[in-house]
Amino acid sequence: MNSRISNRKFLIAAICSLAAILMTVKSVSANDTFKQSAELGKRTAKTSDDIDKFIAQLDKTEQAISSVQEAHGKELKKRFDSFLKELSKLDDGQKHATSDINEMNSTGAEYFASWDTSIAQMSNPDLKQASAERRSKVMKDHHDLAGVLSDLDHELQPFMNNIHDLKTFLETDLSPANISKASDMIQRSHTDAQALRDKISGVQSTLKQFLSEAPK
């Protein structure tokens, strides 16, 4: 008799322990999803901020190459050196922006996987459906944003390649005659830079919209 009572108490204790463990797992999973949401928001905001910085640096670099084209005499070397410094900063800005885009995409994948796990642990069908529908909407918005950012990333590199070609061309012979030969390249750089600004303006609008609508 005592053995039966003891076994029953052990069974009850085991069930209670299992229930406590399951509740903890659910709590941890929900907490992980919340943290991933915050991390995605942080990554998206950083991407937006670094793209803004890239545009500001793009303007400075374009101004610097224009000043080289307008320079004469001893001022020519001084202005070209200034252009090289601004271009170096632009390179850094591109690296930051590209890294941000990749990290934001990676964080998004982790977030949606965690959200999916949280949904699977829900028992209430109405809440489960509501969360699944919300996840589907946010995931589509993020997918659209990722596509826009991927397009931007692909357009950044050709522009950077062209402006580095311009730098290399002028480094071989920094003379008024060679700068005159580079005038078409410089004008193309300005045209491409404006197209890039227009593209980035749309990207920034998409980024800010996603930030405003994504879970906090």
Q: What is the CATH classification number for the domain harbouring 79? A: 1.20.120
pTM over 0.85: no
Alpha carbon distance 25, 39 (integer Å): 21
Say how far apart CA 114 and CA 35 lie, in whole Å: 10
Q: How many Cβ atoms sit within 10 Å of the Cβ of residue 87?
A: 20
Domain assignment present for residue 23? The answer is: no
Look up residue 173 and give its DSSP letter. -
Residue 184 is assigned to a structural domain of this protein: yes
Domain count of the fold of the chain: 1
Residue 8 maps to a domain: no
**Per-residue pLDDT for the chain (216 aa), expressed as one digit of tens each?**
545 545 454 444 444 443 333 344 344 445 677 788 888 888 899 999 999 999 999 999 999 999 999 888 889 999 999 999 999 999 999 999 999 999 998 898 888 888 888 888 888 989 989 999 999 999 999 999 988 888 888 888 899 999 999 999 999 999 889 999 999 999 999 999 999 999 999 889 988 888 887 766
Residue (of 25, 157, 58) closest to 101 by Cα position = 157
**Domain for residue 101, yes or no?**
yes
12 inside domain? no
In a domain, 116, yes or no: yes
Q: How far apart are CA 13 and CA 118, in angstroms?
A: 27
Token pair of 89 as six digits: 């900063």
Residue type, 58: L
Domain that holds residue 171: 36-213
pLDDT of residue 23: 40
Confidence (pLDDT) at 40: 87
Instruction: Give the rounded distance of the alpha carbon of 150 from its chain centre.
Output: 10
Both tokens of 111, joined, read 């977030």
- Distance (Å, whole) CA 189 – CA 166: 9
Q: How many CB atoms lie within 10 A of CB 161?
A: 10
The CA distances from residue 97 to 40, 50, 104, 199, in Å, are 15, 6, 10, 14
Angle at 203 (CA atoms; ends 197, 204), nearest 5 degrees? 90
